[in-house]
């Protein structure tokens, strides 16, 4: 019986787990600090040392874990509810508030940062300096704008006064001219042999058309106007001294046409045609003829004033001359095969346009530059001398075999010839 009891007792001991053996603090601490410092005995049977938490909870020799619960926890890993998830935004806000309180609070201010009052005063001073600089820049800009505006207004006022003064002078001149015109307006029978009107001073205006043998109109110190066509079998002479000449009608003469004035301009609105000679002499006044001008021999001269001829027809000879002023000459046609054209000025450019049928010799010279340009493929330019300030040569036109000669001279300015 005693033997049986011992066997039952041993079987009960085999079925029950071993008794719990407490570990002293030194052993637990040693394991926690040095987990790999256990004796080498039995270490090969453990692939992984248990964590201190599991050792404290179940002991070293605890029962195996519940694998179903472990599997469930692994499946639900990372699937936390909204209440279980950490609130990162709230944490960031709290961190920001804590940092702000650390910066603002004087008791917990980091070492090395100046007081808040010093930072604030420095920022205020910097702002004041920046504002002062901006105000200075704006003030200077406004002052400049105000100065420009004031100057602009002054110029406007000056121009307005000048226009008003010129308008008053023009009104006075027109009034005086109308009075003189009413007193000095002439007309003559259309078929009288001679038309001669001469006066020392005052405006002279001839009204209507006339035809006869000789026509002479003369005045001084006032305008001379012709409103009508004058046709003469011999000579037409128009003279003025210190006054303008305005020809609203055409002048036709079988022989000569003479036009002279000093310190007064010439304006021709009708045609000028002379069978023999056209002589226009001015001084210190411009010549502008934008209508057809034709004569066997034409001389157009002035001094210190420009000349513009836009419809010149050359029969035998054309001479255009001035000084210290430019010349612009347009030649419509050349009637003679051996015609001569001479254009001259000083200290100003000279520009001449010839018809595309031109054929002959050209001679250009200047102390500046000269140029000869062809406007058509029908001509061929052959240069005998080609320099920057001199060009001599010949223009050969297949459709024209004439031998016209043109000479262009000027100084201190370019000379241009277009063919």
Task: Spell out the per-residue pLDDT of the chain, length 419, in tens.
Answer: 444 444 444 444 444 555 545 444 444 444 444 444 444 444 444 344 444 444 444 444 445 555 445 444 444 444 444 445 544 545 555 555 555 455 444 444 454 555 666 667 777 777 778 787 777 777 777 777 788 888 888 878 877 887 777 777 666 656 655 554 444 555 555 556 889 999 888 899 999 999 999 999 999 999 999 999 999 999 999 999 888 999 998 999 999 999 999 888 898 989 999 999 999 999 999 999 999 999 999 999 999 999 999 999 999 999 999 999 999 999 999 999 899 999 999 999 999 999 988 999 999 999 999 999 988 888 889 999 999 999 999 998 877 888 899 999 999 999 999 98
Q: Which two tokens stand for residue 138?
A: 């704006």
Cβ–Cβ < 8 Å for 284, 262: yes
* Confidence at residue 59, expressed as pLDDT on a 0 to 100 scale: 44
Cβ–Cβ < 8 Å for 360, 379: no
Query: Which one, of 304, 398, 318, lies nearest residue 354 by Cα?
Result: 318
* 412: Cα separation from own chain's centroid: 31
Sign of CA dihedral 364, 370, 375, 378: positive
374 CB-near residues (< 8 Å, 6+ apart): 381, 395, 419
β strands within 263-348, DSSP E: 266-268, 272-283, 287-289, 293-301, 307-321, 327-334, 340-344
Model's pTM, two decimal places?
Answer: 0.56
> Can you tell me the distance from the alpha carbon of 48 to that of 196, in angstroms, rounded to the nearest whole number?
145
Residue where the block lists tokens 């034409």: 298
* Confidence at residue 44, expressed as pLDDT on a 0 to 100 scale: 40
Query: Which one, of 235, 203, 238, lies nearest residue 222 by Cα?
Result: 203
* 185: Cα separation from own chain's centroid: 54
Cβ–Cβ < 8 Å for 354, 313: no
How many other CB atoms are there within 10 angstroms of residue 245's CB atom? 25
Query: Which one, of 341, 338, 328, lies nearest residue 298 by Cα?
Result: 341
Query: Which one, of 342, 354, 349, lies nearest residue 313 by Cα?
Result: 354
* Confidence at residue 366, expressed as pLDDT on a 0 to 100 scale: 96
* Confidence at residue 116, expressed as pLDDT on a 0 to 100 scale: 62
Alpha-helix runs per DSSP H in 17-115:
25-33, 52-58, 67-75, 88-104
């Amino acid at each position: 019986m005693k033997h049986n009891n011992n066997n039952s007792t041993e079987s009960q001991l085999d079925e029950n787990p071993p008794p719990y053996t407490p570990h002293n603090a030194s052993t637990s601490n040693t394991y926690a600090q040095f987990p790999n410092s256990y004796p080498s005995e039995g270490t090969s049977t453990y692939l992984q040392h248990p964590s201190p938490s599991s050792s404290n909870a179940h002991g070293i020799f605890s029962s195996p874990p519940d694998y179903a619960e472990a599997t469930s926890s692994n499946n639900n890993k990372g699937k936390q509810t909204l209440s279980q998830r950490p609130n990162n935004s709230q944490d960031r806000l709290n961190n920001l508030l804590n940092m702000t309180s650390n910066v603002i609070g004087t008791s917990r201010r980091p070492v090395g940062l100046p007081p808040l009052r010093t930072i604030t005063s420095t920022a205020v001073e910097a702002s004041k300096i920046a504002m002062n600089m901006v105000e200075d820049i704006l003030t200077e800009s406004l002052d400049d704008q105000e100065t420009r505006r004031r100057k602009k207004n002054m110029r406007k006022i000056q121009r307005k006064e000048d226009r008003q003064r010129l308008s008053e002078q023009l009104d006075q001149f027109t009034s005086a001219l109308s009075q003189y015109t009413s007193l000095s307006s002439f007309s003559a029978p259309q078929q009288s042999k001679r038309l001669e009107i001469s006066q020392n001073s005052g405006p002279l205006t001839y009204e209507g058309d006339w035809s006869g043998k000789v026509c002479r109109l003369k005045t001084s110190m006032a305008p001379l106007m012709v409103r009508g066509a004058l046709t003469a079998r011999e000579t037409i002479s128009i003279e003025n001294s210190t006054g303008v000449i305005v020809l609203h009608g055409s002048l036709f003469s079988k022989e000569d046409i003479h036009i002279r004035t000093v310190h007064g301009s010439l304006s021709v609105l009708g045609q000028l045609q002379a069978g023999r000679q056209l002589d226009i002499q001015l001084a210190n006044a411009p010549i502008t003829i934008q209508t057809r001008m034709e004569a066997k021999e034409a001389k157009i001269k002035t001094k210190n004033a420009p000349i513009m001829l836009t419809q010149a027809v050359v029969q035998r000879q054309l001479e255009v001359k001035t000084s210290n002023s430019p010349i612009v000459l347009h030649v419509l046609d050349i009637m003679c095969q051996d015609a001569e054209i001479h254009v001259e000025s000083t200290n100003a450019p000279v520009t001449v346009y010839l018809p595309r049928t031109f054929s002959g010799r050209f001679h250009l010279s200047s102390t500046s530059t000269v140029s000869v340009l062809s406007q058509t493929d029908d001509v061929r330019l052959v240069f005998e001398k080609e320099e920057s300030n001199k060009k001599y040569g010949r223009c050969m036109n297949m459709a024209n075999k004439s031998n016209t000669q043109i000479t262009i001279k000027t100084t201190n300015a370019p000379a241009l010839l277009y063919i």
